[in-house]
Amino acid sequence: MTTWQKKAVFLDISGVLYVGDSVIPGAVDAVRSIQQSGIELRFLTNTSRQTRQMIYHKLRGLGFECSLQQVFTAPSAAVNWLRQHGKRPYCLVHPDIRSEFAGLDQELPDAVIIGDAADDLSYANLNRAFRLCLAGAPLIGIGRNRYFKLDDEYLLDAGPFIAAIEYAANTEAVIMGKPSVEFFTQVVASVGCLSSEVLMIGDDVHGDVEGALNAGLQACLVQTGKYRPGDENLISGEFDLRSSLVAAIDAMV
């Protein structure tokens, strides 16, 4: 491990802290030790069907010490982006996270948000999104995943619909969520240190590790969750490889 100074640690959630509803051994204590060390801590997730509140309550319910303000989700990053740019969104997002956008003015929209909105990704709604983008509205994507599996069935994620509107309106989406540099940069800004002083710990070699390195952070790949042997060879760049969150934290101090 490099011995660069670490002023903040960013943690991926699913696969690093828990899998399903099972806490990964030692993870609760590891989180507590960071919280008590004076090092800033943030929790980062791409989930597009849960609000920050829902994630926060799940973490607390499993025993993790955290505050709501430490939780950054792709949708909440989109909300931050909209506030910073003074934009009124047309939201094509999953019904379960619509409340996340409730505080924003959505009359006469001048921005478009596309997430995995399921059946709301209809021809009529996509036409509305397209016409706004054709008129110059920025397109914000919540993740760019191709598909996901639900109840043994493959379903289209937001990525293909973002690609569709990009192609139709000849525009390029701003993507919120890992591995987007925009996303990491926004979380770093909440800490107030340099990107190079942050360590990102995750189980996804592309989303977590490669994304963090591209954004100028340090990174550590843990061998829990979705990690598969050899993942560490899929990308280039200098990063750490540890068996679990506990080992990653132990190596820090």
Residue ranges in contact with its own copies by CB under 8 A: 118-124, 126-127, 130-131, 134, 146-147, 153-157, 159-161, 163-165, 167-170
φ/ψ (deg, to 5) at 24: -75, 130
- Return the biggest CA–CA distance within the chain: 55
Closer residue to its own copies, CB minimum distance, 165 or 247: 165
In whole angstroms, the minimum distance from the beta carbon of 206 to its own copies comes to 15
Smaller CB separation from its own copies, 163 or 241? 163
What is the smallest separation between the CB atom of 171 and its own copies, expressed in angstroms? 11
Closer Cβ to its own copies, 56 or 161, answer by number? 161
**Least CB distance to its own copies at residue 108 (A):** 18
Length of the chain: 253
- Do residues 173 and 162 lie in contact, with contact meaning Cβ atoms separated by under 8 Å? yes
Find the DSSP H helices in 114-194: 123-134, 158-169, 181-191
| Residues 6+ positions from 98 with CB-CB distance below 8 Å | 91
Reading the block at residue 38, the tokens are 């004076």
CB-nearer residue toward its own copies: 7 or 98: 98
Q: How near is the Cβ of 26 to its own copies at its closest, in Å?
A: 37
Q: 């390029």: which residue's tokens? A: 172
CB of 113 to its own copies, least distance (A): 17
Identity of the residue, 108 or 135, whose beta carbon is nearer to its own copies in the bound complex: 135
Closest approach, Cβ 236 to its own copies, in A, equals 22
Structural element, H or E, at residue 19: strand 18-19
Cα distances from 203 to residues 13, 129, 136, 148, 196, in angstroms, run: 9, 34, 37, 17, 20
The first and second tokens of residue 242, run together, are 């540890």
Task: Considering the complex, state which of residue 175 and residue 220 has its C-beta at the smaller distance from its own copies.
Answer: 175
Q: How far apart are the first and last CA of the chain?
A: 11
